[in-house]
Each structure stands twice: as C-alpha cells, then as structure tokens.
Amino acid sequence: MNKKPIVISIASEYITLGQFLKFADVIETGGEAKIFLASNKVLINDENDNRRGRKLRSGDKVEIKGVTYLIK
C-alpha cells in the first residue's frame, strides 16, 4: 500500500536537512538534528543520508521512520 507523501513547501531555493527536520516537526529544536540523524535512518531520494547540511530542493523525496515527505 502506497501512502501519499506529506508535501512540505519551501519559499527559498533549498532547505538543509537539519532545517527540514525542525520545519516538518520531526524534531523540536535545531540542536536535536545531529543526535536524531546519528540514531535514525533518513532516505533522501531513496539513498541513505545523515548530513545536517544536505541541501534539499523542490522535487526531493525524504523518508523518515516510514513517513514520506515531498519538497515543493
């Protein structure tokens, strides 16, 4: 069963993975990003990535704990 992705709209050219985690309410504060990424699997466009500074652009797909997000 395919669930529809949660669409996250950004107003700028890109958002970093650390900013995205906070913006999508995955974490409460930006300071939690490093710890979260060290202990959780994050797929970006179906590839594992844990870099807080990874730039996410429109069209990128992020999967965290079985939830899929689409950057628009």
Among the residues of the chain, which ranges form H helices?
17-23, 33-39
pLDDT exceeds cutoff 90 at 30: no
Look at residue 71 and give its three-state secondary structure: strand
Q: Across residues 43-70, what is the average pLDDT? A: 97
Report the length, in residues, of the chain: 72
Residue partners of 28: CB distance under 8 A and separation at least 6:
22
Whole-angstrom distance, CA of residue 37 vs CA of residue 26: 11
Q: Classify domain 6-71 by CATH number.
A: 3.10.290.10
Tokens 């179906």 locate to: 46
| Reported confidence tier of residue 2, pLDDT bands at 50, 70, 90 | low
